[in-house]
Amino acid sequence: MVGGGQLARMTHQAAIALGQSLRVLATSPDDGAALVAADTVIGAHTDLDALRAFAKGCDVVTFDHEHVPGAHIRSLAAEGVTMLPSADALRYAQNKRAMRERLSQLGVPVPAWRPVTSVADLVSFAEVGSPCVVKTTAGGYDGRGVWVLYDPEQARPLLDQGLDLIVEEKVPLRRELAAMVARSPFGQVAAYPVVETVQRDGICVEVLAPAPGLDEDVALAAQEMAIRIAVELDVVGVLAVELFETPSGAILVNELAMRPHNSGHWTIEGARTSQFEQHLRAVLDYPLGETTPTAPAVVMANVLGGRTDGMGIDERVHHLFAADPGARVHLYGKQVRPGRKIGHVTVLGEDFEDLRVRAAVAARWLSDGDGEIYE
């Protein structure tokens, strides 16, 4: 797996059960996966020679992020390395313009959008005074590379930086959802229950599985749409389709990710097969695993880097385990930086209201070491 972050770290856990050992290409020995995987290579994912050396002896090479240049993936594939997902598929997770164009061609519902090369493009797209969303076509994540503009002139500094941009309507939201599917080279697909994702400042903070109160037909339609995208784009591995649900109950595709995804962390305990094992099964062309949930309600909350003063993480974990012995904690071994995802907590049960409180209290406690964790 190219990339040594938490996704590779958790994929390594899944690989162990399958009798495999994940080889990881990390940029630093301190990367989350590099700390725990026996077979870690240090190198840059933008360096073709490093990638080539890394790939030697691998059955298949896959990715924990979208930042490997397509040209490098193509080069290695041409040299006989099995790279999954392929550069052709991954392009739609790497470039928002390519993704929007392709999904529009396929008739998949997306927000109204267009490419932007000048302020004039924005003026002709948006009514003056109504907000629109400008995004860089590549490299954005966790709210970076996304700007809500109320005046087309606000785009000028972005254009002056030479950024490749698209503009989209600011979709009125009921909430955000995510549909995850997996697809193997053989062509088998498997769909997980559709989940609700809760964002704060552009960062996913909470996932509810399955999405509470979601109309069954809408859930089924979202799963079918995700399967169709996986098939049409020839995705191999897991595919997370981030969705907007509008107040009228329509669903629009926001983003695609072709790797294990934050919206699927709940599957580690909450589904019979985790997204990490499913991704491995898919890229290794094993038959896929059951996606059946293991509990009626599952809530995952991200632990973001917060206060670094006061008690250390070890002491925080200690108190959390005392207060909530059923909380499932996953820590990524990363240095704490404010707002950085350093772990997550999953709780399982019957009732979303209780679970959301438990998950939020646990995540906040691990972030900051304060709040009320004992009732």
Count of positions on this chain that bind a second copy (CB under 8 A): 43
Q: Note whether 38 binds a second copy by CB under 8 A.
A: yes
Query: For residues 258 and 239, is the Cβ–Cβ distance under 8 A?
Result: yes
Residues 270 to 289 in contact with a second copy, rule: CB under 8 A: 272-273, 281, 286-289
CB of 142 to a second copy, least distance (A): 21
Query: For residues 230 and 222, is the Cβ–Cβ distance under 8 A?
Result: no
Judged by CB, which is closer to a second copy: 129, or 325? Answer: 325
CA–CA distance, 352 with 208 (Å, rounded to integer) = 8
CB atoms within 10 A of CB 145: 18
Judged by CB, which is closer to a second copy: 247, or 287? Answer: 287
CB of 268 to a second copy, least distance (A): 8
Judged by CB, which is closer to a second copy: 110, or 297? Answer: 297
Residue with tokens 């972050």: 5
Judged by CB, which is closer to a second copy: 98, or 329? Answer: 329
Query: For residues 193 and 291, is the Cβ–Cβ distance under 8 A?
Result: yes
Residues β-bridged to residue 207: 197, 300
Residues 291 to 330 in contact with a second copy, rule: CB under 8 A: 292, 294-295, 313, 317-318, 321-322, 325-326, 328-330
Judged by CB, which is closer to a second copy: 106, or 313? Answer: 313
Q: Note whether 290 binds a second copy by CB under 8 A.
A: yes
Backbone angles phi, psi at 288, to 5 degrees: -80, 160
Residue 182 contacts by C-beta under 8 Å, 6 or more apart in sequence? 189, 190, 230, 237, 238, 239, 275, 278, 279, 281, 282, 288
SS3 assignment, position 255: strand
Q: Note whether 343 binds a second copy by CB under 8 A.
A: yes
Residues 62 to 81 in contact with a second copy, rule: CB under 8 A: none
Q: Note whether 28 binds a second copy by CB under 8 A.
A: no
Judged by CB, which is closer to a second copy: 156, or 272? Answer: 272
Residues 198 to 227 in contact with a second copy, rule: CB under 8 A: none
CB of 229 to a second copy, least distance (A): 22
Q: Note whether 30 binds a second copy by CB under 8 A.
A: no
Q: Which two tokens stand for residue 15?
A: 């690989």
Q: What is the DSSP string of 325-361?
A: TT-EEEE--PPP-TT-EEEEEEEEES-HHHHHHHHHH
Judged by CB, which is closer to a second copy: 92, or 266? Answer: 266
The helix or strand, by DSSP H or E, that contains position 103, with its residue range, turns out to be helix 96-106
Question: Where on the chain is the footprint of a second copy (CB under 8 A)?
Answer: 9-10, 12-13, 15-21, 34-38, 40, 272-273, 281, 286-290, 292, 294-295, 313, 317-318, 321-322, 325-326, 328-333, 343, 348
